[in-house]
Amino acid sequence: MLSSADRAIRVKRVYDAAAPEDGYRVLVDRLWPRGVRKDALGMDEWAKDLAPSTALRRAWHHGDISDEAFRDRYAAELDAVPALASLARRCRAGTVTLLVATRDIGRSHAHVLARELERHAAARVDGAAGRTG
C-alpha cells in the first residue's frame, strides 16, 4: 500500500509542461482548451463529466453565485457522477494531476474536485480498513 506521501492530487494548467511527478494526468474541463492540440497535451484521460455543469460554471463566472454556493453546488453535482469513484481509486494508487485551462488555478473548480476526490478516497480506505474477513 502506498503511503500518503506517495499519493497526491495536484492541479496544473494544461499549458504547463508535463512532468514525471504528475503521475496520472486528467483534463477536467468540459471544453477542450484553446490552442492545444489533442496529441500534444500528454494526458491519460479527459474526464469532462467531472467538470461543473455549463449552467453552474456560467453562474459562477458571471458572479451570479458566491464561491461558497459554487463549491456546495458543484460538490452535489459530483456526488451524482460515477466517474468520481473511478478517479478516487486512481488517487489511492498514486499521484493524480488535474489539468485545467483557466489562468487562475487558485480559483479553479479543480480544487473543489480535488477535495471531493480526497474525501472519497479516504472514505474508501477507512471503509476497507474497518472490514474483517
SS3 call for 7: coil
Which residue's C-alpha cell is 467538470? 51
How far apart CA 64 and CA 32 sit, in angstroms, is 24
How far apart CA 39 and CA 52 sit, in angstroms, is 24
CA angle 122, 128, 133 (to 5 degrees): 170
- Enter the pTM of the model: 0.86
How far apart CA 117 and CA 87 sit, in angstroms, is 7
Digit-by-digit pLDDT tens for the chain (133 residues) are 344 445 699 999 999 999 999 999 999 999 999 999 988 899 999 999 999 999 999 999 899 999 999 999 999 999 999 999 999 999 999 999 999 999 888 889 999 999 999 998 888 655 554 444 4
Read off the C-alpha cell for 111: 480544487
Which residue's C-alpha cell is 473511478? 86
